[in-house]
Amino acid sequence: MNEKQIKQRWIDIKKTISARPLLAYLTGIPCKEWNLYMTSLPSTDEINRIYDAIQDDRTLKTKRIKDELQNIVGYREAKQLSKKIGVSDSTIREIIQEKKITAGYGIINRLEVFINIVNPDFELSIENPLSKEIIVKDEFDEIIYEIRNISNSLLRESFELTDVAKNMKAKLDWHKEISHPAKGVEYSIKRLNEVQEKISLIYDTYIENI
């Protein structure tokens, strides 16, 4: 690797460790030298050593997840499971089939939380920053934002319907064609159905079985 690639590798490593601080301990970074490591560029050998340690950690955690997934989900169920976890069904299949032996920490975090819900004996990695409470809050925050957007869209539709009634004709769309006054409401209903499905999915997965 050239100097630029080494520097980028160290930047990536620091981001990873910042998100999971206990990795510093797992990778053997001396506690007393933490600040030095974070504000300087270690030797190439040291950077590669830490990188390899992180890769090994990800591989071990991926195998641990794979062993559990094989017990709770089949190949055909991966697509349905992916909606609950927020991890693509292709990734889940690749982990189960051992085609992906080193998953990223973002994937590991979510899969560990889900497996822990299904099997409480499965403990989360001590440095996993996620929990079911955090996942639910993040997902519901997005849903609340979407609901408010839909609400605003329906409010605009109400004003537009007033104009239709006043002018006795529908408005024109961006293509200068007549737009049916029910079209906007129909689209909002579709969005609301999607929101309803998301709420049910999150509730059924992370809350109902508490």
Does residue 188 lie within any of the structural domains?
yes
End residue of a domain, out of 69, 91, 118: 118
Span of 44-53, 80-89, 109-118 with lowest mean pLDDT: 80-89
What residues contact residue 115 under an 8 Å CB cut-off, 6+ apart?
Answer: 65, 68, 69, 72, 122
Q: How far from chain centre, in Å, is Cα 73?
A: 20
Q: What is the pLDDT of residues 113-158, one digit of tens each?
A: 999 998 999 999 998 999 999 999 999 999 999 999 999 999 999 9
Q: What pTM did the predictor assign?
A: 0.82
Supply the pLDDT for residue 76: 62
| Res. 84: pLDDT tops 90 | no
From residue 192, give the alpha-carbon distance in Å to each of 60, 61, 153, 180. Answer: 41, 38, 12, 20
- Beta-carbon count within 10 A of 46 CB: 14
Pull the structure tokens for residue 154.
């329906």
- Look at the chain and report how many structural domains it folds into: 2
Rounded to whole angstroms, how far apart are CA atoms 147 and 188? 10
Q: Are residues 111 and 154 in the same domain?
A: no
End residue of a domain, out of 89, 118, 147: 118
Does residue 127 lie within any of the structural domains?
no
Q: Are residues 21 and 92 in the same domain?
A: yes
Average pLDDT value over all residues in the chain: 90
Q: Which sign does the torsion angle of CA 54, 95, 67, 65 carry?
A: positive
Closest alpha carbon to 89 in 74, 72, 101: 74
Does residue 125 lie within any of the structural domains?
no
Backbone angles phi, psi at 110, to 5 degrees: -70, -40
First to last CA, the chain: 49
Backbone angles phi, psi at 15, to 5 degrees: -65, -40
End residue of a domain, out of 118, 150, 177: 118
Rounded to whole angstroms, how far apart are CA atoms 88 and 98? 15
Q: Three-state DSSP class for 182?
A: coil
The mean pLDDT of 183-194, rounded to a whole number, is 94
Domain limits for position 151: 132-207
Q: Are residues 144 and 99 in the same domain?
A: no
For a pLDDT cut of 90, what percent of the chain falls above it? 61
Does residue 126 lie within any of the structural domains?
no
| Res. 101: pLDDT tops 70 | yes
Q: Are residues 54 and 141 in the same domain?
A: no
pLDDT confidence tier of residue 74, bands split at 50, 70 and 90: low
Alpha helices in the chain (DSSP H): 3-19, 23-26, 34-39, 44-72, 78-85, 89-96, 105-118, 132-167, 183-202
Supply the pLDDT for residue 210: 54
Supply the pLDDT for residue 209: 62
Q: Are residues 198 and 146 in the same domain?
A: yes
Q: Are residues 43 and 114 in the same domain?
A: yes
Pull the structure tokens for residue 12.
């990536």
Q: What is the pLDDT of residues 153-166, one digit of tens each?
A: 999 999 989 988 88
Q: Are residues 92 and 28 in the same domain?
A: yes
Q: Are residues 159 and 189 in the same domain?
A: yes
The mean pLDDT of 12-36, rounded to a whole number, is 90
Rounded to whole angstroms, how far apart are CA atoms 112 and 89? 16
| Res. 67: pLDDT tops 80 | yes
